[in-house]
Structure 1
Amino acid sequence: MTNPAAADLIARSNRLGSDPKNTNYAGGNTSAKGHETDPVTGEPVELMWVKGSGGDLGTLTEGGLAVLRVDRLRALQNVYPGIDREDEMVAAFDHTLFGKGGAAPSIDTAMHGLVDAAHVDHLHPDSGIAIATAVDGEALTQTIFGDKVVWVPWRRPGFQLGLDIARIKRSNPDAVGCILGGHGITAWGDTSDEAEANSLWIIDTAAAYIEEHGRPEPFGPALEGFAALDESERRAKAAALAPAIRGLASTDRAQVGSFTDADVVLDFLASSEHPRLAALGTSCPDHFLRTKVKPLVLDLPADASVEESIARLKELHAAYREDYRAYYERNASPDSPALRGADPAIVLIPGVGMFSYGANKQTARVAGEFYINAINVMRGAEALSTYAPIDEAEKFRIEYWALEEAKLQRLPQPKSHATRIALVTGAASGIGKAIATRLAAEGACVVIADLDLAKAQDAAAELGSTDVAIGVKADVTVEAEVQKAVDAAVLAFGGLDLVVNNAGLSISKPLLDTTTADWDLQHNVMAKGSFLVSKAAARVMVEQELGGDIIYISSKNSVFAGPNNIAYSATKADQSHQVRLLAAELGEHGIKVNGINPDGVVRGSGIFAGGWGAKRAAVYGVPEEELGAYYAKRTLLKREVLPSHVANAVAVLTGGDLTHTTGLHIPVDAGVAAAFLR
């Protein structure tokens, strides 16, 4: 049974963490102290429950709490070796755990355990950090809060900061919390409700003071030519720029992207002071660990052409990498972790918006959210004073902290399709849905394109949040709709690496019964549709300079002559030769083009469910419900082919093993000798 103190803590944490005005995603930590019976001695023991390393307050559960003995935690003061060796104290927390201890304790554990209060909150609210990063933050803290909130000069999170805050609370009995210079806030209370009320009072009081006393234009006057473009124009420009920007941001390692044209970003970039402020970088450790110390900012007006913008971005990117490497070399010591990569995580485009990057969509999206936090912080600090983040050396100490490096090393190995962005046509059902499901399971971000938008969105929702998959409408016979689907992919995830031409249909008729409408429909969907999708996707892949994969779901019928399906088989042969043609043309760009020839996929197949199955069953003289078994019996392996088997072939062709294979057709037919490739 959950201890009442822990239950109150979880409820408080979820309330605080669910409101972005209080703290950023995965930012901050909360704690509660209470008593339980020691199962060894039978005596009551004081425990502390505190959010563990890497958790998120808004979604915190009991499993995300570290549980420590307060007496042993406070006894660590007797063995604390000093600030130069305080990283050792994180390992020491393991010796203070109660039982198995729950989640891994974070670096902020000391802040909670050493403070003499039953409940403690440490948060990263924009309003509080605005005061914490103002050049005269200490004086502002006194003016705004009086004796109820105490200023703490910047100190890197750790055991010493916990000692500092504990001392401040003892010395200031009327105080309910602190402003942590350059960082955030800490508040406490005797009850959970009191701690929460004190946290919210600090946050709201700071916000109200900024609103009442702040300058009306904290970012300066508007910069001529840098105002936001109209929505349709800026999103079209964003889609056109996205592939090139992702390629630049992936110079060291492939990244997934996220895009936002939120008003807060557009307004910041339209102001005269944005170049100065962006160059100062972010301050709160949670911010710059995700955004890097500063963004790359395009220094051209909003109406600059796409071509001009890309050319300038390439110049700025080269300079950014040199600057970041110089930052590393200025601050690194012999025992610093190796440079992790010199590409920007945030790219700002005036008039258009912000691109953010990470190892997956959630990381990329959150990086962008953190930079919006940073913009809000800069607005508040500049409204009252002058924005003054922590200095470069301190940023480096945080970014290349041995503890941060250890956390990164503990991350699981990426899946085979991590960082890959896939678009699958006809993916709301059947083979396409199986392919999308497999690619998502292997770590890819997936765009499910289908004629039926509602079904596409439902299929995407089955795979997870919009950080995993989105559904879009696309009639592959219409070039504008294909382009719209590709644009949706690059705006959702930053680019495109993998396309599966799966959309299809079949009309089974003899030659004399096949109409020109039958012929045109099948060729438009599969031959023309595959051409349009491949063309739009290849344009993105070439611009990214990251290579890519194009897969055609063709058919055994592309090489095998069977009766009563002239239109279907002919268009499948067209698709099959497109594979060869595009493999020959796109190879110089690192783009692999391969095909898959399924046969007899009855169960779960959209084509068979649409009437094709009944017609093929009639051709072979078997009941429709036995068609799958009939196909299985005529194969060499005597096995029925399912949509998942086709998905397996796509995963293998586009994973990390067949890096040197292009122009290949793989049969997925359980063995049909007449369709062997020659």
Structure 2
Amino acid sequence: MIATPNTFRHVSYLWDETRAAQFDALPQPDREVALLIYRSNLLGADLRLTNYGGGNTSCKAMAPDPLTGQSTEVMWVKGSGGDIGTLKKSGLAALYMHRLHALKTIYRGLAHEDEMVELFNHCIYDLASKAPSIDTPLHAFLPFNHIDHLHPDAAIAIAAAADGRAITQELFNGEIGWVDWQRPGFDLGLKLAACVAENPNLRGIMLGSHGLFTWGDTAYDSYVNTLEIIERCANYLDEKSTRPAFGGAIRESLPADQRQQQAAQLAPLLRGLCSTERPMVGHFTDDERVLTFINSTDLARLAPMGTSCPDHFLRTKIKPLVLEAVESLSQRPADDLRTYLTGQFEQYRADYTAYYEACKHPDSPAIRDRNPVVILLPGVGMFTFAKDKQTARVAAEFYINAINVMRGAEAISSYTSLPRQEAFNIEYWLLEEAKLQRMPKPRPLTGRVALITGSAGGIGKAIAKRFADEGACVVLNDNDADRLAGADAEFSSQYGRDTHARALLDVTVASTIRDAFDTASLAFGGVDIVVNCAGISISKPIEEHTEKDWDLLYDILVKGQFLVTQAGVDIMRQQGIGGDVLNIVSKNALVSGPNNAGYGSAKAAQLHLSRLNAAELGKDHIRVNVVNPDAVIADSKIWAGAWAEGRAKAYGVPVEELPAYYAKRTLLNEIILPDDIANACFAFVGGLLNKSTGNVLNVDGGVAMAFVR
């Protein structure tokens, strides 16, 4: 059939005939592979069909054997750890079909499943392709050219229903087969093939608790078949959903602005408690689907059951932590709130330990982080915490899918979750552990969140970029909305959606400081690094210096540094995991120069305020250090206009010769760039100086008068 967008209500039909026709000129098998990638990207673009990293797709085609030149059948399938929504050819594993089938002769049964994965490597056709995944035989043994294996909410709702097999038979009248849940692997591939052999007219197979397999002779046929089957599942759920979701609501959500406010206040406490074993980054959502679930009658019954689909479970853990409703939580005094939350986390960790001890095998990997990934706060929303922002966001997406599955299963029958032992066998699978061990070592600032004032340009932006390069999440901010928008676009292009947030911040206005830190808490769970970089420079002889000049310098440089530090320290203390304050001061804090009374004395105040803060905050394991630049001219608003003219006048040189003048007066004869300051900041926070506080690092090319000692 020729489908159109109007054919479907519950899924997105995205196929573009003009785009697909562009592949017609490619020779085989390149055309089939290109269509596989195109189809995969379309399917992965709809989170109702499968989550980030979930599901896999394949195609089979004839290709020349590089050793013999003879035509041979090859399968291209999503490789280990990939994502179909962003899949490229480099993410595919290409394998000889005859070699994969030959493995059947040496397969020794379920007890020896894991050894087969290593043997997949002996079947590789394209030596530059991705490592084959555990799902390889699930595609290899099905006799179809194009295959889609997805985890659509609507299908899993049926697969996770107590009588899912009977519903599947009733709904599809035998066109969709059923295979009971078992862990993916060689044996499951054989069972899928047997199901098709016994029922040659099948359009797909439902995997109990897990997901859906569908196929077609061409890429387009497979795509449309997949959409049609999922659409029918979704229509069925719609028709049967005649009662209130999850037994109806027992409370109302707070208004949206109050939800955000409560979440921002609570996030640092939760983040600190989640970070007892490794630094965690947070994500918050008050998506309507989440609110429907957490405010419902059935929350207390369904949440402890956990998820049904293993892909959901691996991202969200055995169960969420459910807190008491916000109306009770918000009434607790600060000390009582911390005591309550600490007790809840201790109980969760104890429960997780008991689960591990009850289910572990003699060769199981050591117990992993015992803290929750998903935290539900009735009336407000859902928090998720993970090693980085993308993983935390994706965990939230997976749990929303799990909510959709529970809602659908409860509408048509009753929901069944993955049995605890099966869940453990997936979570602590030796192959899963091997995959974790192969992951790249985290970058030095992975799991840390930085707020750098004035980070839309100049030194501040250079610091933000360096921190992002090293794995940090950063909160971009500036008092110039247009400049901030430009930096936001630049970071989005360079780093993607999960590395940064943005906030308008004027360091002289306390309310904007609070808003910026709320942004940090909502976006990432809190803050670990505060860099006071926002600045202003006014160079005038004493007789020309006005009271307005003086107040502006001290408001921005000294009061601004104090207020931003005060707000950042409050969050760091709530988290209880230490932190860093870096103050970008100046060599002028130490050197007496002409026409510089206001600026130089304000910089001296910044420097001594840093010492005072370092002395006070050491008990909280919050380090306070200083970087003293000099003459950083590139991309700096400070050097535009009057300041450059004033300094040029003071030194008796033309404005255009200032960079060379500053370089020549240094011991190293170097021009100082924003990246040089960023490198110094990273030196303080990158892990090698964690026992250092109250220090000053000069980055000025060597100015002897600015030596601290």
Same fold (TM over 0.5): yes
1:129 CA displacement: 0.7
Say which of 230, 236, 241 aligns to 2:266. Answer: 241
- Is the contact between residue 457 and residue 470 of structure 1 (CA under 8 Å) also seen in structure 2? no
Which residues in structure 2 correspond to 1:50-65 (within 5 Å)?
50-65=77-92
Partner residue in 1 for 2:496: 465
| Partner-residue secondary structure (3-state), 2:418 | coil
2:64 corresponds to 1:37: yes
2:373 corresponds to 1:373: no
2:658 corresponds to 1:630: no
Counterpart residue type for residue 185 of structure 2? G
C-alpha distance after superposition, 1:277-331 (max 9, x if no partner) = 1100012111111111111010234453163554322211110000001100111
Counterpart residue type for residue 54 of structure 2? G
Partner Cα separation in structure 1 for residue 66 and residue 457 of structure 2: 55
2:190 corresponds to 1:159: no
2:512 corresponds to 1:487: no
- Is the contact between residue 539 and residue 599 of structure 2 (CA under 8 Å) also seen in structure 1? yes
Partner Cα separation in structure 2 for residue 427 and residue 121 of structure 1: 45
Say which of 246, 259, 264 aligns to 1:219. Answer: 246
Counterpart residue type for residue 538 of structure 1? V
2:428 corresponds to 1:405: no
Partner residue in 2 for 1:147: 174
- Is the contact between residue 449 and residue 472 of structure 1 (CA under 8 Å) also seen in structure 2? yes
Partner residue in 1 for 2:383: 355
1:462 CA displacement: 2.0
Say which of 495, 498, 522 aligns to 2:529. Answer: 498
Partner residue in 1 for 2:308: 283
Q: Provide TM-score, normalisation by structure 2.
A: 0.94
C-alpha distance after superposition, 1:351-383 (max 9, x if no partner) = 111111111110010001100000000000011
2:49 corresponds to 1:22: yes
- Is the contact between residue 321 and residue 375 of structure 2 (CA under 8 Å) also seen in structure 1? yes
C-alpha distance after superposition, 1:10-48 (max 9, x if no partner) = 111111111111111110000000011112212101000
- Is the contact between residue 461 and residue 469 of structure 1 (CA under 8 Å) also seen in structure 2? no
Which residues in structure 2 correspond to 1:280-319 (within 5 Å)?
280-302=305-327, 304-305=329-330, 307=334, 309-319=337-347
| Partner-residue secondary structure (3-state), 1:92 | helix
| Partner-residue secondary structure (3-state), 1:341 | coil
| Partner-residue secondary structure (3-state), 1:219 | helix
- Is the contact between residue 486 and residue 536 of structure 1 (CA under 8 Å) also seen in structure 2? yes
2:546 corresponds to 1:518: no
C-alpha distance after superposition, 1:436-473 (max 9, x if no partner) = 11111111101111012332232133232230112211
2:635 corresponds to 1:604: yes
Partner Cα separation in structure 2 for residue 426 and residue 99 of structure 1: 49
Partner Cα separation in structure 1 for residue 257 and residue 631 of structure 2: 45
1:612 CA displacement: 1.4
Partner Cα separation in structure 2 for residue 454 and residue 391 of structure 1: 53
2:598 corresponds to 1:573: no
1:199 CA displacement: 1.3
1:197 CA displacement: 1.8
- Is the contact between residue 668 and residue 702 of structure 2 (CA under 8 Å) also seen in structure 1? yes
Say which of 274, 291, 299 aligns to 1:274. Answer: 299
Counterpart residue type for residue 293 of structure 2? F
Partner Cα separation in structure 1 for residue 642 and residue 675 of structure 2: 21
2:461 corresponds to 1:436: no
- Is the contact between residue 447 and residue 471 of structure 1 (CA under 8 Å) also seen in structure 2? yes
| Partner-residue secondary structure (3-state), 2:173 | helix
Partner Cα separation in structure 2 for residue 127 and residue 663 of structure 1: 58
2:558 corresponds to 1:527: yes
2:229 corresponds to 1:198: no
| Partner-residue secondary structure (3-state), 1:80 | coil
2:155 corresponds to 1:128: yes
Partner residue in 2 for 1:172: 199
Partner Cα separation in structure 2 for residue 217 and residue 402 of structure 1: 42
Partner residue in 2 for 1:420: 448
- Is the contact between residue 215 and residue 384 of structure 1 (CA under 8 Å) also seen in structure 2? no
C-alpha distance after superposition, 1:585-619 (max 9, x if no partner) = 11111100011111121233321124312211111
1:216 CA displacement: 2.2
2:352 corresponds to 1:327: no
| Partner-residue secondary structure (3-state), 2:583 | strand
1:59 CA displacement: 1.1
2:573 corresponds to 1:546: no
| Partner-residue secondary structure (3-state), 1:33 | strand
Which residues in structure 2 correspond to 1:5-16 (within 5 Å)?
5-16=32-43
Partner Cα separation in structure 2 for residue 141 and residue 509 of structure 1: 82
Say which of 137, 155, 159 aligns to 2:164. Answer: 137
Partner residue in 2 for 1:265: 290
1:530 CA displacement: 0.7
Pick closer, same or farther for the CA change 1:219–1:310 going to 2, 3 Å.
Answer: farther
Partner residue in 1 for 2:107: 80
Partner Cα separation in structure 2 for residue 535 and residue 141 of structure 1: 60
- Is the contact between residue 423 and residue 448 of structure 1 (CA under 8 Å) also seen in structure 2? yes
- Is the contact between residue 286 and residue 381 of structure 2 (CA under 8 Å) also seen in structure 1? yes
Pick closer, same or farther for the CA change 1:403–1:461 going to 2, 3 Å.
Answer: farther
Partner Cα separation in structure 2 for residue 578 and residue 610 of structure 1: 29
- Is the contact between residue 241 and residue 310 of structure 1 (CA under 8 Å) also seen in structure 2? no
- Is the contact between residue 326 and residue 380 of structure 2 (CA under 8 Å) also seen in structure 1? no
- Is the contact between residue 28 and residue 124 of structure 1 (CA under 8 Å) also seen in structure 2? yes
- Is the contact between residue 461 and residue 470 of structure 1 (CA under 8 Å) also seen in structure 2? no
C-alpha distance after superposition, 1:383-413 (max 9, x if no partner) = 1111101200000000001111111111111
Say which of 115, 126, 146 aligns to 2:142. Answer: 115
Which residues in structure 2 correspond to 1:665-676 (within 5 Å)?
665-676=696-707
| Partner-residue secondary structure (3-state), 1:41 | coil
- Is the contact between residue 221 and residue 272 of structure 1 (CA under 8 Å) also seen in structure 2? yes
- Is the contact between residue 447 and residue 472 of structure 1 (CA under 8 Å) also seen in structure 2? yes
More displaced stretch, 612-621 vs 127-136: 612-621
Partner residue in 2 for 1:341: 369
Partner Cα separation in structure 1 for residue 148 and residue 280 of structure 2: 34
- Is the contact between residue 600 and residue 641 of structure 1 (CA under 8 Å) also seen in structure 2? yes
| Partner-residue secondary structure (3-state), 2:603 | helix
Partner Cα separation in structure 1 for residue 413 and residue 461 of structure 2: 55
CA RMSD of aligned residues (A): 1.2
Partner residue in 2 for 1:255: 280
Partner residue in 2 for 1:645: 676
1:218 CA displacement: 3.3
Counterpart residue type for residue 314 of structure 1? T
1:133 CA displacement: 0.7
Partner residue in 1 for 2:410: 382
C-alpha distance after superposition, 1:142-200 (max 9, x if no partner) = 11111100111111011111100011011111211111001111111222222122211
| Partner-residue secondary structure (3-state), 2:382 | strand
| Partner-residue secondary structure (3-state), 1:364 | helix
1:214 CA displacement: 2.4
Q: Please list every run of 5 or more consecutive structure 1 residues that lacks an aligned counterpart in the other structure.
A: none
Partner residue in 2 for 1:450: 478
Partner Cα separation in structure 1 for residue 297 and residue 338 of structure 2: 22
2:689 corresponds to 1:662: no
Partner Cα separation in structure 2 for residue 376 and residue 670 of structure 1: 60
Partner Cα separation in structure 2 for residue 377 and residue 310 of structure 1: 33
- Is the contact between residue 48 and residue 401 of structure 2 (CA under 8 Å) also seen in structure 1? no
Partner Cα separation in structure 1 for residue 543 and residue 693 of structure 2: 38
